[in-house]
Amino acid sequence: MARAKITSVRGVKDILPEESPRWQRVEALARETFARYGYSEIRVPVFERTELFARSIGEETDIVNKEMYTFNDKGGESLTLRPEATASMCRAYVQHALYSQPGVAKLFCIGPMFRYERPQAGRLRQFHQIDAEAFGSLDPAVDAEVIVMLADFLSAAGLKDLSLQINNLGDAECRPAYARALQEFLRKETTNLGPEVQERVERNPLRFLDSKDPDHRAIIARAPTIDLHWNENCQKHLGAVCDRLKGAGIRFEVNPRLVRGLDYYCLTVFEVTSRNLGAQNAVCGGGRYDGLVEELGGPPTPAIGFAIGMERLLQLIGGEADESAAPASPLDAFLVPLGEKAAAEAFALAGELRKGGLRVDLAFGGGSMKSQMRRADRSGARYVLVLGEDEIAKGTVSLRDMRESRQEELPRAEALSKLLAGRR
Ligand code: HAM
């Protein structure tokens, strides 16, 4: 009886060979763009101590409350697959004292993130982010530079029709006053919404603003907004960011209702959305988190960054890039050995050609000349090298140019130099 197939987990996808080139191009573009702004790559682990995410993203957030892949390892330690990279990058920044280097530390990270969300179009349980973070400056010019870099990357990736929204979530002085005003409003408005909602309003009223529930959204639409509470510092900061962005020719909108699903933010927050993505319309989100490094045991270090969702980005880039793409890895040569002795020689010859920098494959497992030639044809290789008993006896190889449909028998060394001379 045939055994049952094992499929991948819900909300988790394979990136197949024909899709990989698009991923590689986008990653290469991010690396090139970010390098022009002085960013270096950091690779942080895919799992961390659970406490790291609980302490940074916030105990009351949906991410920490409902969406983390948390497990005890065999030593009984609670670990979590990273739901985002900012917390890990801050942890690494503190652990390796990256703050001891002068200037702004600019880091980026590319890789998979894990959230136990309900899978739907644009929402996965394993997804990928391109994440950039700048540590060590309060200067609003850094906020602007981060956003300009993001816009630069998105436009180089060919994305159009995006909308950039910016808000200022207040600082340590004015945010508590706003939270109190919001709490007062919500206490009155949520009396019929059950104890769970009311507890949330008591513990962290700002988190109510994330709710997707239509009844809650109606209340949120009437709730006081942060702009009524901005102090001079926040107004100046936002004004300076906006001025720089206008100067750089970036189109954006200030939206005092923009909130983010993570607790660590202060001052500038922003989101890039697209009309072409459906319900999950955010391509990128980010903002300042001036207290987080200190919260994780480091020195007081203001910081700001963003993360782009790669699946959503690729969805927007669409099929165009695919059509223009070269085949995943075109072969230069395909070897067809006829007989066992030829198979051993072909194996060695393939090695020599590869050492010379060529992309080479060979027919394994024997078979008739006809079936091997069919394999050679399907491989898409420019040249096919046939090694039969005759060729072995004479020390030659039959070299067939598949593009020109021409075949010639050449001494082995000559065939080798011909192929190597034509290499890309
Ligand atoms: P985030 O808004 O939670 O922010 O995620 C950033 C982006 O990741 C989203 O805009 C979206 O494109 C993508 N994304 C999030 N969840 C999913 C999912 N389940 N499936 C597919 N794509 C998803 C953060 O993660 C912050 N760490 C951003 C940041 C960096 N803030 C400061 N620095």
Q: What is the pLDDT of residues 311-329, one digit of tens each?
A: 999 999 985 444 445 555 6
In a domain, 237, yes or no: yes
Identify the pLDDT of residue 323.
47
Identify the pLDDT of residue 303.
98
CB of 127 closer than 6 angstroms to any ligand 1 atom: yes
Task: Tell me: do 313 and 341 sit in the same domain.
Answer: no
> Which ligand 1 atom is nearest residue 122's CA?
21
- 173 CA to centre of ligand 1 in angstroms: 27
Task: Tell me: do 271 and 379 sit in the same domain.
Answer: no
Task: Tell me: do 152 and 63 sit in the same domain.
Answer: yes
| Residue to probe by mutation, ligand 1, list 9, 65, 113, most atoms within 8 Å of CB | 113
Identify the pLDDT of residue 211.
87
Identify the pLDDT of residue 150.
98
- Count of domains for the chain: 2
Cβ(167)–Cβ(254) under 8 Å? yes
The strand pairing partners of 128, in sequence order, are 112
- 106 CA to centre of ligand 1 in angstroms: 19
Q: What residue owns the CA closest to ligand 1's atom 17?
A: 123
Identify the pLDDT of residue 383.
96
Identify the pLDDT of residue 326.
52
Q: What residue owns the CA closest to ligand 1's atom 23?
A: 309
Task: Tell me: do 362 and 402 sit in the same domain.
Answer: yes
pLDDT 10s digits, 228-280: 999 999 999 999 999 999 999 999 999 999 999 999 999 999 999 999 998 89
CB of 282 closer than 6 angstroms to any ligand 1 atom: yes
Task: Tell me: do 318 and 388 sit in the same domain.
Answer: no
CB of 117 closer than 6 angstroms to any ligand 1 atom: yes
pLDDT 10s digits, 375-404: 999 999 999 999 999 999 999 999 999 999
Of 293, 323, 353, the residue at which a domain comes to its end is: 323
Task: Tell me: do 42 and 79 sit in the same domain.
Answer: yes
Instruction: State which residues of the chain have pLDDT below 70.
Output: 319-329, 424
In a domain, 267, yes or no: yes
Q: How far apart are CA 52 and CA 55, in angstroms?
A: 5
| Residue 160 structural domain | 20-174+230-323
- 87 CA to centre of ligand 1 in angstroms: 13
> Which ligand 1 atom is nearest residue 284's CA?
10
Identify the pLDDT of residue 319.
56
- 131 CA to centre of ligand 1 in angstroms: 9
CATH of the domain at 313: 3.30.930.10
Identify the pLDDT of residue 321.
44
Task: Tell me: do 28 and 151 sit in the same domain.
Answer: yes
CATH of the domain at 378: 3.40.50.800
Identify the pLDDT of residue 328.
56
> Which ligand 1 atom is nearest residue 129's CA?
8
CB of 83 closer than 6 angstroms to any ligand 1 atom: no
Identify the pLDDT of residue 324.
46
CB of 133 closer than 6 angstroms to any ligand 1 atom: yes
